[in-house]
Amino acid sequence: MRRRHPREGNRMITLKGKERIVAAIPETITGAGYRNFIIRVHIVDYSKQTWREECIQSDGQTPMMIALFKPLEQAHEAMLGEIETVKECNNDTASSASKPEHIRATSDATACKKRGPRPDRHGAA
């Protein structure tokens, strides 16, 4: 699917106060009968400890954004795949019956911490 450059230029993002853009992440969104190419723009204001996200839709992207979209999306997915995560569970002393199934399944409380590469959005490790 070929995306075209918008007639009126790219969408402007307004930054307030001490906000700054810290990331622009391309992402392909698919669903029943549609495919959308968005760029998620992450904006922070460290002085107020706030974060917000804006999305630039396909029709608001410049030719350079369109050209960079696929390689940057692939690089982002590869980077996410290299990040190790730890899933922590609430290991309180409550009875086994009141614990979630993933905790009841093991007697070792530390077994619910799992380390490993982050799977991508499509379930591959």
The predicted pLDDT at position 102 comes to 45
Q: Nearest 5°: phi and psi at 35?
A: -145, 130
Residue identified by tokens 């107020």 is 48
Domain borders along the chain are: 1-83, 84-116
pTM over the 0.85 mark: no
The predicted pLDDT at position 78 comes to 95
- Token code pair at residue 84: 């190790």
Reported as a single tens digit per residue, the pLDDT across 73-122 is: 999 999 999 998 888 876 554 455 554 444 444 444 444 444 444 444 44
From 125, 10, 111, 114, select the one nearest 60 (Cα to Cα): 10
The mean pLDDT value for 7-13 works out to 62
Largest CA distance in the chain: 63
Min mean pLDDT across 5-9, 52-56, 57-61 is at: 5-9
From 24, 20, 23, 25, select the one nearest 44 (Cα to Cα): 20
